[in-house]
Amino acid sequence: MPPKKYIDFVEKPAEERRGKAPPYAMRNYVDVICPHCNTICAEIPEEFLKQTKASECLKHLRVCEVFKAKGGEVVSAPEKKKSEIDTLKAEMAAIRGDISAIWSIVGGGDPAPTTMVELKERLPQKVDEIGVKRKREEELSVYHGWTKKEEKELRTIVRGDMLEANKRS
Ligand SMILES: [Zn+2]
């Protein structure tokens, strides 16, 4: 879709003029305005507008002093920008994938962080939680080899002692 590339080159309404080449018959011309120097950069017969607008605009850009002064380069700029945006989008998606992978490694639940900043904020707390959980598991491992009933009895005794101690103090 070459004409879309030069969408900022405004097309004026078609005007009937004498043809520029033999047989010099009347025909409809469309003036195209350069967005950089704001002059008519091309005068295109209406029926050829779609096919020739892009090449006429490109031809003008090569000689447009204002465009060159801005540091403009005659490349397909919009396409280049699009590919850069696509690359960035892909990179962002990869980063989000990494973030959720890290989050699931530490056993984080929903909602998972979506940015690196959020991950950095929430990760230390998550690591602390893992530490606490592991310590509790180590303490409970004292009961290894005991049945559920025995464990329950032990806890009741411990709790009973604590209640007694509280009463005495
Ligand atoms: Zn120009």
Q: Over the chain, what HEC string results?
A: CHHHHCCCCEECCCEEEECCCCCCCEEEEEEEECCCCCCEEEEEEHHHHHHHHHHHHHHHHCCCHHHHHCCCCCCCHHHHHHHHHHHHHHHHHHHHHHHHHHHHHCCCCCCCCCCHHHHHHHHHHHHHHHHHHHHHHHHHHHHCCCCHHHHHHHHHHHHHHHHHHHHHC
Q: Does some domain include residue 75?
A: no
Return residues with CB closer than 5 A to ligand 1 (ion): 34, 36-37, 64
In the prediction, which pLDDT does 8 show? 92
One domain for residues 42 and 112: no
Q: Does some domain include residue 74?
A: no
One domain for residues 36 and 112: no
In the prediction, which pLDDT does 129 show? 84
Cα 153 to averaged position of ligand 1 atoms, centre (Å): 91
- Domain count for the chain, please give it: 2
Q: pLDDT-derived band of residue 81, with 50, 70 and 90 as boundaries?
A: confident
Cα 85 to averaged position of ligand 1 atoms, centre (Å): 27
% of the chain at pLDDT higher than 70: 82
Of the candidates 69, 88, 122, which is a domain's last residue? 69
Do 57 and 32 touch, CB atoms closer than 8 A? yes
**Residues forming a β-bridge with 44:** 30
Cα 19 to averaged position of ligand 1 atoms, centre (Å): 24
Q: How far apart are CA 129 and CA 39, in angstroms?
A: 68
In the prediction, which pLDDT does 64 show? 93
pLDDT reading at 3 higher than 50: no
Q: pLDDT-derived band of residue 41, with 50, 70 and 90 as boundaries?
A: very high
Q: How far apart are CA 94 and CA 36, in angstroms?
A: 38
Cα 63 to averaged position of ligand 1 atoms, centre (Å): 8
Q: pLDDT-derived band of residue 164, with 50, 70 and 90 as boundaries?
A: low
Cα 40 to averaged position of ligand 1 atoms, centre (Å): 8
Which of 74-78, 103-107, 135-139 is predicted least confidently? 74-78
One domain for residues 157 and 84: yes
What mean pLDDT is reported for the chain? 82
Q: Does some domain include residue 119?
A: yes
One domain for residues 162 and 103: yes
Q: pLDDT-derived band of residue 88, with 50, 70 and 90 as boundaries?
A: confident
One domain for residues 84 and 163: yes
Range of the domain at 101: 80-168
One domain for residues 90 and 13: no
One domain for residues 49 and 12: yes
One domain for residues 92 and 138: yes
Q: How far apart are CA 132 and CA 2, in angstroms?
A: 63
One domain for residues 49 and 93: no
Cα 59 to averaged position of ligand 1 atoms, centre (Å): 10
